[in-house]
Amino acid sequence: MEAPIRLVTARELSYRYGTAETGRSVLNNIALDIRAGEVVLLTGPSGSGKTTLLTLIGSLRQPQQGTLQVLGVDLLTASPAQLRQLRQNIRFVYQRHNLLHSLTVLQNVTACLPNTPTSGRVANRQRAIEMLGHLGLIAKIHEKPERLSGGQQQRVAVARALVSSPALLLADEPTASLDSEAGQRVARAMSDVGRQLGCAVLISTHDERIFHFADRRLHIEDGVIAERSIRGP
């Protein structure tokens, strides 16, 4: 059987904030691989560099040292056009849902789908409805986000992220502000739908209750990354 494609590859990746003299190094010679269909957790104490790594992989920051390849694009040398193209295949879920309150649930999700000749408006709408159905929100599609619970809002955010079938889903503390049950449903949604779509999911989290949804866990501390068990801290 063929090995899943490596979607993210980092080698000797380092990053520091500020100048060489007065700045602070947050990532030191990081090496990691993430493959298609994998659900990977990124854990570590606050300030350990989880978010920095997430934003580097998401091409929201420019790498400073080492190599970082995401979906085959070398982020150290990529042109703005290559980055724009790359970002079309990466989606994010944040700690807050960040849904537009003036739009319905369905409109929030379809807003993140491009209208192209091959994916028209009607097709997009159908796709968004299916995705919301997968996430147990079919009865809520015409509601405004403010009428939904926190967990439901976060699942809409997951639907919004996954509806375009991205190759890579990056989530930053997606369950931090949810109760246990809602957090579990959100994590299950990301892992199940992510696997179905063959999408690599990287979740930065402190939430041990969702560890079991992952295939692997990477722990980052003092700028150094190491593989850890998904069963314990």
Residue numbers at the binding site for another protein (CB under 8 A): 51, 54-55, 58, 60-61, 84, 87-88, 91-92, 94-96, 98-103, 107, 110-112, 114-115, 121, 164, 172-173, 176
Contact 43, 203 (CB under 8 A): no
Which residue carries 């889903």 as its tokens? 169
Contact 95, 170 (CB under 8 A): no
The length of the chain in residues reads: 233
What residue type is 118 in one-letter code? T
**Distance of alpha carbon 2 from alpha carbon 74, whole angstroms:** 24
Contact 195, 169 (CB under 8 A): no
Q: Measured from the CB of residue 91, what is the shortest distance to another protein in angstroms?
A: 7
Q: Measured from the CB of residue 200, what is the shortest distance to another protein in angstroms?
A: 17
Q: Measured from the CB of residue 13, what is the shortest distance to another protein in angstroms?
A: 18
Nearer to another protein, 52 or 152 (CB): 52
Nearer to another protein, 38 or 173 (CB): 173
**Distance of alpha carbon 50 from alpha carbon 211, whole angstroms:** 16
Nearer to another protein, 22 or 102 (CB): 102
Name the token pair of 128: 């968004």
Nearer to another protein, 21 or 118 (CB): 118
Contact 158, 178 (CB under 8 A): no
In sequence order, the β-bridge partners of residue 221 are 224
Q: Measured from the CB of residue 125, what is the shortest distance to another protein in angstroms?
A: 10
Residue 45, φ and ψ in degrees, nearest 5: -65, 165
Q: Measured from the CB of residue 3, what is the shortest distance to another protein in angstroms?
A: 30
Q: Measured from the CB of residue 110, what is the shortest distance to another protein in angstroms?
A: 7
Nearer to another protein, 19 or 46 (CB): 46
What residue type is 29 in one-letter code? N
Nearer to another protein, 101 or 231 (CB): 101
